[in-house]
Amino acid sequence: MKYLKNNWSFKDMVKFLENYKFKLGHVQGSHYFFNGRIEGKDRIVQAINNKSEKKTQSENTMKLAVRHSGIKKEYFNEWKNGKTVHKEIIC
């Protein structure tokens, strides 16, 4: 069973994070680290851009993204389905 609805590509993850005002902090090989602030707490989230995860981020990567971002899993699904951004949590 998939952790999140639909497949999340690297590009999807980057666009999602940018919509939630995350900025690229640094890159280590195929690991891209984005910095943001959600609900008053600084966050670091990674997206992976390698051969196996470019088109579909792994389930583990997605679980970590939800945990580390502080953004509810439901918000990830809402964004994927219609690009909804919950601006009230961005600060």
Domain boundary assignment for the chain: 10-89
Q: What is the pLDDT along the chain (91 residues), one digit of tens a residue?
A: 466 766 899 999 999 999 999 999 999 999 999 999 999 999 999 999 999 989 999 999 999 999 999 999 999 999 999 999 999 999 8
Let me know the angle formed at the C-alpha of 58 by 48 and 67, rounded to the nearest 5 degrees. Answer: 80
Report the predicted TM-score, pTM, of the whole model to 2 decimal places.
0.92
What are the pLDDT digits (tens) for 74-89? 999 999 999 999 999 9
